[in-house]
């Protein structure tokens, strides 16, 4: 009888172990806004032809530092900030790939100047409309899990938060501030000691920072796009008017634009800042052709279809998109 009971017990244990071995491993999980989802969304946006001009704003990344305790040590000073440099590089890459900005180098401008001196060429620095400054204010990891009688689970979570602000380079005014947050995780579980394992994943932190960067840039772009699309006259020659902006900014032949007088700029007694008064529409122009190669030297050739620019000086006029194509 004892032998029979022992055999029965061994058979039951083998059956349970066999079932545990067959337990499928838990697939790795990511945050709702995964890196793959962001890439697919960006690809979908790029595949769509622009319905309206997307004037590329001139921006530069200024100070983006790590203000968390992560990565700090006595051997590193404020200038040895690898995590801050990583965030800066991620933001620069994301801004460039968005296709909505002309991004100019500022953090490593010294290296650009040194290279220019070595080749004997003159470095023609271009001023920007907006300077982006900010910091990584939250960054960390945690491990959470649950355990039962025969099962256990373990989840690794990395999170990051970035605060940025936009500075108007003409007066130093901070006209917009926002935050971006990101989270990435993976999870594993086991039954009777069998199943998937959750080893340390060093890429979770990078994924969380990447999502935080994308979130901040998305909010920033929405704010910048609320400003009117406008450009300037390069030269007026007979019936032809040369304006800045071409193919890469979404301009196509047949589009029409309004020509406005540049409003007078006066100093406000209330705030002490300069205020530009609204200009007056004086003409409508139509794009006839495009010229140039590359974002920095493209332009359009237009002709007047109504109104007149008269003998006004070029610097006293601006071009604004009126929605017609």
Edge-to-edge strands of the sheet including 151-168? 101-104, 57-66, 130-147, 151-168, 173-191, 194-195
Average pLDDT, the chain: 76
The yes-or-no answer to whether 25-33+43-224 and 230-321 have a common fold is no
What CATH topology corresponds to 230-321? Thrombin, subunit H (2.40.10)
Does the pLDDT of residue 22 top 50, yes or no? Answer: no
Tens of pLDDT, residue by residue over 179-237, are 999 988 876 655 544 445 555 566 788 888 899 999 999 999 888 877 777 888 999 98
pLDDT of residue 275: 84
Q: Is the pTM of this model over 0.85?
A: no
CB 173 within 8 A of CB 167: yes
pLDDT at 291 exceeding the cut of 70: yes
Beta bridge partners of 136: 66, 162
Q: How is domain 25-33+43-224 classified at the architecture level of CATH?
A: 3-Layer(aba) Sandwich (3.40)
More confident residue, 178 or 249: 178
Task: Look at residue 24 in the predicted model and tell me its pLDDT.
Answer: 45
What pLDDT does residue 42 have? 59
Categorize the per-residue pLDDT at 121 as very low, low, confident or very high, splitting at 50, 70 and 90.
confident
236/314 Cα distance (integer angstroms): 8
Average pLDDT, stretch 263-271? 85
Residue spans of the domains in the chain: they are 25-33+43-224, 230-321
Strand spans (E) along 245-316: 256-261, 265-267, 274-276, 281-291, 299-307
Q: What is the pLDDT of residues 53-64, one digit of tens each?
A: 667 888 888 888
Please determine, for residue 71, whether its predicted confidence score (pLDDT) is greater than 50: yes
Choose among 229, 319, 254, 255: nearest CA to 282: 319
| Residue 83 banded pLDDT, cuts 50, 70, 90 | confident
Low-confidence winner among 12-16, 137-141, 264-268, 281-285 (lowest mean pLDDT): 12-16
Burial of residue 112 (number of CB atoms within 10 Å: 0-12, 13-18, 19+):
middle
| pLDDT digit string, tens, across residues 148-161 | 444 456 778 889 99
Q: What is the pLDDT of residue 99?
A: 81
């Amino acid at each position: 009888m004892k032998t029979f009971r022992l055999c029965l017990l061994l058979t039951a244990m083998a059956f349970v172990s066999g079932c545990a071995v067959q337990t499928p491993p838990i697939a790795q999980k990511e945050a709702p806004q995964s890196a793959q989802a962001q890439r697919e969304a960006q690809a979908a946006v790029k595949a769509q032809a622009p319905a309206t001009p997307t004037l590329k704003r001139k921006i530069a990344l200024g100070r983006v530092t790590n203000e968390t305790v992560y990565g700090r040590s006595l051997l590193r000073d404020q200038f040895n900030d690898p995590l801050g440099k990583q965030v800066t590089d991620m933001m620069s890459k994301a801004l460039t790939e968005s296709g909505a900005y002309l991004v100019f180098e500022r953090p490593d401008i010294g290296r650009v100047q040194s290279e220019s001196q070595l080749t004997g060429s003159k470095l023609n620095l271009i001023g920007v409309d907006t300077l982006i400054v900010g910091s990584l204010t939250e960054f960390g990891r945690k491990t959470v899990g649950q355990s039962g009688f025969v099962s256990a689970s373990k989840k690794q979570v990395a999170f990051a938060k970035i605060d940025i602000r936009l500075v108007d380079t003409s007066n130093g005014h901070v006209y917009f501030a926002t935050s971006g947050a990101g989270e990435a995780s993976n999870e594993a579980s086991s039954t009777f000691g069998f199943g998937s394992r959750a080893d340390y994943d060093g890429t979770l932190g990078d994924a969380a920072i990447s999502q935080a960067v994308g979130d901040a840039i998305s909010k920033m772009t929405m704010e910048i796009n609320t400003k009117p699309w406008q450009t300037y006259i390069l030269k007026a020659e007979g019936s032809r008017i040369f304006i800045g902006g071409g193919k890469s900014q979404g301009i196509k032949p047949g589009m029409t634009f309004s020509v406005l007088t540049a409003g007078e700029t006066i100093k406000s007694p209330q705030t002490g800042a300069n205020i530009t008064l609204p200009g007056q529409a004086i003409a409508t122009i139509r794009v006839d052709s495009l010229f140039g190669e590359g974002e920095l030297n493209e332009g359009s050739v237009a002709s007047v279809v109504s109104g007149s620019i008269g003998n006004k000086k070029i610097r006293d006029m601006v071009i604004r998109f009126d929605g017609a194509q």
